[in-house]
Structure 1
Amino acid sequence: MRKLALTVLLLALAGTICGAAFAEDTIKVGHIAALTGDWAAYGKTEEMAAKLALDEINGAGGVLGKKIELIVYDWKARPEDAVNAARRLIDEDKVVAIIGPNGSGGNIATAPLVNSKQVPQIGTLPTNPLVTVGEDGKVKPYNFRICFTDPYQGKLIANFTAKDLGKMKAAILYDVASDYSQGLREFFVESYKEYGGEIVADLGFRGAQDVDYRAQLTEIKNKNADVLVLPNMGKEMALIIKQARELGMNEIVFIGGDGYGEFMWEIAGDAMENSYWITHVAPEDPNMAKFFADYKAKYNDECKEFANGVMAYDAIYWLKDAIERAGEADPVKIRDALEATKDLQLHHATLTINPADHNPQDKDGVVLIAKDGKGQFFKKVKP
């Protein structure tokens, strides 16, 4: 009996030792992605692109001689779920850093937690300034982003609308329940007026609840706007565009930001044609050719939500670089390395981080034109 008990004890100890050894051989990284709900197309693409990056990095020997292990949780595009995911990643999974989520609201919600726990977080596409800087103007030490911000994006949209399109009478239809939408609207209005543009209608709706926008669109039609600015996410924008064309708004031009998604064509169809979208990357960028080819080879599918895919992919590579410069998988040292990033050549851009606000500096914006059933490169812009 004693021999059996001793054997069980030895096996248990061996299991504990082996488990600890396995844990030491991996660097755990969290990923918060919208895998279900209205943003699932974005989140699933992010997850697949991040795993592609990990396959490449781990296949080349990993980081500091260790493999990176990615732990992914669904935030369902709900801030409370983002907080729960971040808490689980930090307290239970013991990750050294977190990638995502893509939404501003999710990152703003998780900020108190990641800063109190001292675990760095890289938002993939959260453009609201409050993601990395508090209401007091002070930088949030452990929050970073790989994308440009709403003030910059708003200025890009305003510049392109007024200078390139020559459209000086704008209507706006925005989601009053979205930090992203409200922020982008605010900064567009500010910049558009500086360019001499006039806001003839500024109307709201409630995302995830409203699906009929005909009342607002009728008012916009009656105000004779020549451009409709949509600072929203894909599903709502597609429905708005479809309903606008059904109301006979055939001359108005649609323009929006990085909420654009290829799945919008499935909702709006040909109504999408000749709309414009300011985003972060274009599929035609030659620097991204290998990524798109490798993504298709691995998943037998196109990377349709390419902005999300590219940001998640390069966020993993940025984190890899930071861990290497930190010299160890320590969250505080990784944070310091992220903040010190300068002239890092990623796949989609050269990245330099401003320590004062943890935002990328001077990134080009890309204008896509919706044409022939997909978003296509139109031009690069910088105000």
Structure 2
Amino acid sequence: MRRLMLRAAVLLLFAASPVWGADTIKVGEIATVTGDFAAYGVAEVESVKIAVDEINAAGGVLGRKLEVVMYDCRTRQEDMVNAARRIVEQDKVVAVIGPSGSGLCIAAAPVFNRGRVPHLGTLPTNPLVTTDETGKVRPYNFRICFLDPYQGRMMAYFAARDLKASRAAILYDVSSDYSQGQREFFVKGFEEFGGKIVADEGFRGEDVDFRSQLTNIKDSGADVLIFPFMGKSLPLAVKQARELGLKTVIVGGDGYGDFMWEVAGNALGDTYWVSHVDRYDPALKGFFDKYRERTGTECQEFMNAVMAYDCVYWLKDAIERAQSADPVKVRDALEQTANLELLHCTLTMDEFHNPKDKDGVMLRCDPEQRKALFFKKVRPE
């Protein structure tokens, strides 16, 4: 296996007072700091720093400071597995936070379960992150976001009910568990709501030219275009669609990020995106102010940032309820989470280690403001 190229173990936090001793609680983090999803990973790393600094400044957890050990998985499954092995077997952490990619989390799930260390996914939405192929729950895998079945159905409900669309075309990444899952559940929901799939085009994650697929879509007569993928491919596909004269409304999953404006610009007009949070919710302002103060930049990948931040506080709550930093006891407490007030939601775990009854948000891109603004909350039938 290829060794991780970034630092073997990067301590992200340092004590303000004397050097920390063994009496700290180690928290693991795996993030996509480099690679196609680097923007998402950097936002998660900075947000974890903010949350841990706040907690340590307030006295820590059970009277102990939190100490974070981070690895960069570079958006590669083999690097994710290597990082998981090292963080579980050598670093002896209480739990691991991140990353956001479904395929990455699924690849490393056996490592966390063999090592009996809980894993908190930030934005991995594929069902197999927390359950295996038989539907059995993975004991040590959790997530703070809603799932692909839910957001696939959200897109279908929104397209059929709000946009009054009846003919949908899909462009999706055949190499991505995330993308395939959203596509599958969109198709199922859209057909249930009376719609018809008139084009179903695939590409592979490394592709940068989608004109052939988009030409087929243009010829299909679709009245809505579904983009259930993420990363650098997303703004490229939006831009190329508009360059080909496709004026069809575009609806996508939670892959939206503010970085897309740099590539697609005004082509993002008349596009809608599933979101876990409203970037402009007043309750989030204090967090984003801290992010700006710490990094000197605006928080572009706001969904990743908020989810990572809340994962830290979720873990803090579980450690306190367990009255222990033992990973097995913390796992039990995570499973029993109910009505926990976090920054973006009130969190309750269901029997499959997923959030229960979370509302989804639809965002609409505004080219004049170059922002994705709140459009409406959606909880599909």
TM bucket (normalised to shorter chain) is over 0.9
2: CA distance, partners of 1:254 / 1:22: 51
> Is the counterpart of residue 364 in structure 1 residue 359 in structure 2?
yes
The equivalent residue for 2:138 is 140
The equivalent residue for 2:266 is 270
Alignment partner of 1:359: what SS?
Answer: coil
Identical columns (%) = 61
2: CA distance, partners of 1:277 / 1:364: 14
Instruction: Map residues 134-283 of structure 1 onto 2, 5 A cutoff.
Output: 134-208=132-206, 210-250=207-247, 252-283=248-279
2: CA distance, partners of 1:188 / 1:248: 25
Equivalent AA in structure 2 for residue 276 of structure 1: Y
- How far is the alpha carbon of 1:297 from its aligned partner? 1.9
Q: Which has the larger radius of gyration?
A: 1
2: CA distance, partners of 1:104 / 1:119: 18
The equivalent residue for 2:71 is 73
Alignment partner of 2:232: what SS?
Answer: helix
**Deviations for 1:35-70, whole angstroms, at most 9, x for unmatched residues?**
001110000000001100011111100000001011
Instruction: Map residues 280-299 of structure 1 onto 2, 5 A cutoff.
Output: 280-299=276-295
Equivalent AA in structure 1 for residue 284 of structure 2: M
More helix by share: 1
> Is the counterpart of residue 339 in structure 1 residue 338 in structure 2?
no
The equivalent residue for 2:13 is none
- How far is the alpha carbon of 1:24 from its aligned partner? 3.1
Equivalent AA in structure 2 for residue 249 of structure 1: L
State the number of aligned residues: 360
2: CA distance, partners of 1:23 / 1:316: 21
The equivalent residue for 2:118 is 120
Ranges in structure 1 where 5+ consecutive residues have no aligned partner = 1-20
2: CA distance, partners of 1:359 / 1:174: 25
**Deviations for 1:83-112, whole angstroms, at most 9, x for unmatched residues?**
111111112211110001110011101111
The equivalent residue for 2:370 is 373
2: CA distance, partners of 1:216 / 1:362: 36
2: CA distance, partners of 1:237 / 1:284: 22
Equivalent AA in structure 1 for residue 99 of structure 2: P
Equivalent AA in structure 2 for residue 357 of structure 1: F
TM-score, normalised on structure 2?
A: 0.93
Q: Contact conserved, 1:273 with 1:373, CA < 8 A, in 2?
A: no
The equivalent residue for 1:92 is 90
**Deviations for 1:215-248, whole angstroms, at most 9, x for unmatched residues?**
1111110111111100000311111111111111
**Deviations for 1:158-191, whole angstroms, at most 9, x for unmatched residues?**
1111111111111000000000000010001101
Equivalent AA in structure 1 for residue 294 of structure 2: K
Instruction: Map residues 317-332 of structure 1 onto 2, 5 A cutoff.
Output: 317-332=313-328
The equivalent residue for 1:102 is 100
2: CA distance, partners of 1:167 / 1:293: 39
- How far is the alpha carbon of 1:23 from its aligned partner? 4.3
The equivalent residue for 1:307 is 303
Q: Contact conserved, 1:45 with 1:308, CA < 8 A, in 2?
A: yes
